[in-house]
Chains A and B, each alone.
Chain A
Amino acid sequence: QVHLVQSGAEVKKPGTSVKVSCKTSGFSFTSFGISWLRQAPGQGLEWLGWISAFDGNTDFAQNVQGRVTMTTDTSTSTAYMELRSLRSDDTAIYFCARMGPLRGAFVPCDHWGQGTLVTVSP
């Protein structure tokens, strides 16, 4: 069975950074990519970026480019998302989701992590 298990909730001060992990199991990690998305309270889904566990390529949404880093550890089948210079409007539930391994691949987000609440507060 495919599983994506994310790290626990975080409370951060504005200007600091947060790193969320997404540990996967039940599939060949390096045959897929991982997207990161978020959902602000009461709002819809926002795609933040994608990393290929196959070749390490990344793509990011314009509004977080320069503040976000996405990495993978193939030895533990884990993906990471670090967001820097946090602001109050970064408060959201952050999700990881499995996607295809190649940029632009016609593959949806077929399995999701449970979500990680990140709260940014003074």
Chain B
Amino acid sequence: EIVMTQSPATLSVSPGEIATLSCRASQSVSTNLAWYQQKPGQAPRLLLYAASSRAPGIPARFSGSGSGTEFTLTISSLQSEDFAVYYCQQYNDWPPITFGQGTRLEIK
């Protein structure tokens, strides 16, 4: 099973600034990595797939990079609606599909 590890657990950033979230895989997942955003009381929403491709309707301020075992989600010019929990997920080698434990992005 591929273990996904996200850091930091909580990130405090001011609106308008840049947030950088990290995700590490225990073995290579190529670029078969997705990022999800989850707000309280809502289902997760797909933000990025294939490590760097934005899902339909996702603003350009969300970008992703990385391959193999190291990945980054960058949110530029944070908006109020961006404060949420973010999960990475590998779908390179499944079953099982595995997620990171999440990063909570909070307002500083």
The interface of chain A, by Cβ under 8 A from chain B, is 35, 44-47, 49-50, 59-62, 95, 99, 103-115
Q: How many A-B residue pairs have CB under 8 A?
A: 63
Given contacts A108-B34, A109-B34, A110-B46, contact A50 B95 (CB under 8 A): yes
**Are A114 and B92 closer than 8 Å at their CB atoms?**
no
The interface of chain B, by Cβ under 8 A from chain A, is 32, 34, 36, 43-46, 49-50, 55, 87, 89, 91-102
The complex places the Cα of A115 from the Cα of B43 at a distance, in Å, of: 7
Please classify the interface of chain A as helix (H, G, I), strand (E, B), loop, or mixed, using the class held by over half of its residues: loop
Shortest beta-carbon distance from B10 to chain A in Å: 14
**Are A108 and B46 closer than 8 Å at their CB atoms?**
yes
Given contacts A61-B96, A104-B94, A106-B32, contact A45 B46 (CB under 8 A): no
**Are B45 and A112 closer than 8 Å at their CB atoms?**
yes
